[in-house]
Amino acid sequence: MKKRCAYCGEMIQASAMDCEHCGKVLRRTGSEAAPRATGLQKWQKGVPSWMIYGAVLFGILLIFLMYHQVSERLAEPAAKPIETQPLDQGAD
């Protein structure tokens, strides 16, 4: 029994795990027309777009929060109010 290679179109053994003509690894045996999906395309299909945008936004938010915390810590010593004078001076 033979089948057609999904990559180069040559006839190969149906039980073959990889094509003897182009050398591509055939994981799915039985289906003649395997979809030519790259890893990225599969990843994009599996992950919804809102999740990608959400992850990007979350990253930006994290960076913003970290930057905000660092700037707050740097500004803390200068922002402290200096009150050295006592309020009750006229107690005699």
Position 14 contacts Zn ion (CB under 5 A): no
Tell which one of 11, 13, 18, 22 touches Zn ion (CB under 5 A): 22
| Shortest distance, position 28 Cβ to Zn ion, whole Å | 14
Element (DSSP H or E) covering residue 41: helix 39-46
C-alpha to C-alpha distance for 86 and 89, rounded to whole angstroms: 6
Closer Cβ to Zn ion, 20 or 72, answer by number: 20
Nearest C-alpha neighbor of 29 from the set 65, 3, 57, 55: 3
Position 7 contacts Zn ion (CB under 5 A): yes
Position 8 contacts Zn ion (CB under 5 A): yes
Closer Cβ to Zn ion, 18 or 72, answer by number: 18
| Shortest distance, position 63 Cβ to Zn ion, whole Å | 46
Nearest C-alpha neighbor of 36 from the set 3, 16, 9, 13: 9
Q: Which residues bind Zn ion (CB under 5 A)?
A: 5, 7-8, 19, 21-22
